[in-house]
Structures are given as C-alpha cells and as structure tokens.
Chain A
Amino acid sequence: QKEVEQNSGPLSVPEGAIASLNCTYSDRVSQSFFWYRQYSGKSPELIMSIYSNGDKEDGRFTAQLNKASQYVSLLIRDSQPSDSATYLCAVRNSGTYKYIFGTGTRLKVLA
C-alpha cells in the first residue's frame, strides 16, 4: 500500500461546478497535510494546508481533513478552466520534516 494515494484521473468537471479531489494516507501519526497545484511544465505551488480535523476554507478552495478515516480532500467551488492542473496531496508525519507526496490527480475544467 502506498503511503499517500490519489486517483490519477483525469477528473473532468464543467466550468462553474464543484471539483472534489481526494487523498488517503496510511500512517496514523501523520500530522500536517498539504495540497499543491502543478501546471504542466511548472513547479508545485502550495494552495492549502491543514492540520486539524474539519474544514478550512480559503476563497474558492476548501480543504477537509478526517484523521479517523485517514483522508483529506480538496473542494474547488466555481471551477474555472484556469484550475485545470495536477493536484498533489502531501503528508508530513510527526517526528520528521519531510513530505510524502501522492502521484497527483489531473483535473480538467471544461469551458
């Protein structure tokens, strides 16, 4: 079992819809969780971080964390074609400073 798992996609949603991206992780001591967006040919850029159970909202983005079920999700409201990218989930476990990345979910927002 991979430490951080994501569906590779592509996930296609129409413009204006809500895109829901999911990530599961295997280590129960995982402490911090991150969502990075990566456009084709570019470097990953941080869009959300979360470390407490529940929801965290930032503009059109909402991160949801459920430590009991070991999953973290990202909701993108009012999806735009410019949101089309690969979204990487990353997890940092307690006692270490390194991230474990999932392989990413490719999102396509159709105009």
Chain B
Amino acid sequence: DAGVIQSPRHEVTEMGQEVTLRCKPISGHDYLFWYRQTMMRGLELLIYFNNNVPIDDSGMPEDRFSAKMPNASFSTLKIQPSEPRDSAVYFCASSLWTGMNIQYFGAGTRLSVL
C-alpha cells in the first residue's frame, strides 16, 4: 500500500486566502485524523472521522477551519480566511479499528501564511 497520501507537500499563501489541504487514507482504513504540529504546541488533533462521519471536531481552532470527508478515500481540511498564525505542519493519519487502532501518518503539508 502507498500509505497515507497528502497534498500539497508545501503551501505558501498570503493572509486572507483560502487554503485547501488534501488527504487520501490507506485503503480499507475506517478512521481518519487531521493534526496540526507547531514547535510551541506540539501535535494537536483537530478533527477525526469514522466511516466518513465527523466524530470529534473539538480541536478545530475556530470557524475558519472546516473539514470534509466525502468518501472513504478522500478528505479535505480548509482554512478560510488564512492567517499567519495558521502556519504549521498539518498531518493526516488513518487507522483501522482492530486491536490497537494504530495510526499511520502521511508526510504532512507545511503551510506558510505570509
């Protein structure tokens, strides 16, 4: 399997612009997670889905952030409008609920908002 695939790998945008991050989970996995990582706050869970349904979005920082999972093989995280404080690495992870429910991470998207 190719693993969790994220795109783009790097995104540079200007404040106020809309940003869309994309994720393709591992085929067959039924959980998908979006994380944000910064030096100050570490790895923070933003939202997670089970069978394409959002289960817990308590980590989404504010209404500017939204996430969708229209099908089992695709998810998006959108920031509109973007702000400089959104600059971070955004990771997507997927897992299968058997046993330990191990999460596998994508390579991440490094977002810079100028």
Contact = CB atoms under 8 A, between A and B. Distances in A.
Interface in A56-111: 88, 92, 96-104
Contacts, number: 49
A34 B104 CA distance: 12
B101 A102 contact: no
Contacts of B14: none
B56 interface: yes
A13 to B, nearest CB: 23
A97 B91 contact: no
Contacts of A42: 107
Given A43-B107, A44-B105, A45-B105, A32 B45 contact: no
A46 interface: yes
B100 A97 contact: no
Interface string B34-55: 0000000111110010100001
A98 B32 CA distance: 10
A25 interface: no
B55 to A, nearest CB: 7
A43 B110 CA distance: 11
9 smallest A-B Cβ distances: which pairs?
A103-B42, A43-B105, A101-B43, A49-B100, A44-B105, A43-B108, A43-B107, A98-B45, A98-B48
Interface of A: 32, 34, 42-46, 49, 51, 88, 92, 96-104
